[in-house]
Amino acid sequence: MKNRWYDTNDKSMAVLDALRGLDELSRQKISENVISIASSIKAIKREKDEVPVSLGIERVVGLYQQSNRRRWYDKHGEISGVMQTMSTLSEDEYHGIMEALSMALSE
């Protein structure tokens, strides 16, 4: 089942699997931090007038499919919110955050 833009990244799937094993409070704290980081990145881009014109078809389709709530993380508002927020980042920014999360969760 790999038809969302973030499903194609192995680090993303590893992070989501690790998050699944955490308690609700830990997921909430991690989600708040990731959303804060993503929001800061977007604010910096706005200041520099680097806002992307389009999310891209894969991300739009992924957000639509996410609204169907078929996967475990779709049913957890905090994780779903993280994915929606990060969908507006560039691929490099997204992968950087996932790499950092992967390292932090593997410790």
Kindly report, residue by residue over 47-102, the tens digit of the pLDDT: 776 555 445 555 555 555 555 556 777 777 788 788 878 877 888 888 899 899 98
- Rounded-to-integer distance, Cα 53 and Cα 106, Å: 35
pTM summary value: 0.70
**What are the angstrom distances between the C-alpha of 14 and each of 7, 25, 37, 98, 106?**
10, 19, 20, 9, 10
| Residue 36: pLDDT band with limits 50, 70, 90 | very high
Cβ–Cβ < 8 Å for 106, 43? no
| Residue 32: pLDDT band with limits 50, 70, 90 | very high
Instruction: Report CA 74 to chain centroid distance, whole Å.
Output: 12
Structural domain spans, the chain: 10-17+24-106
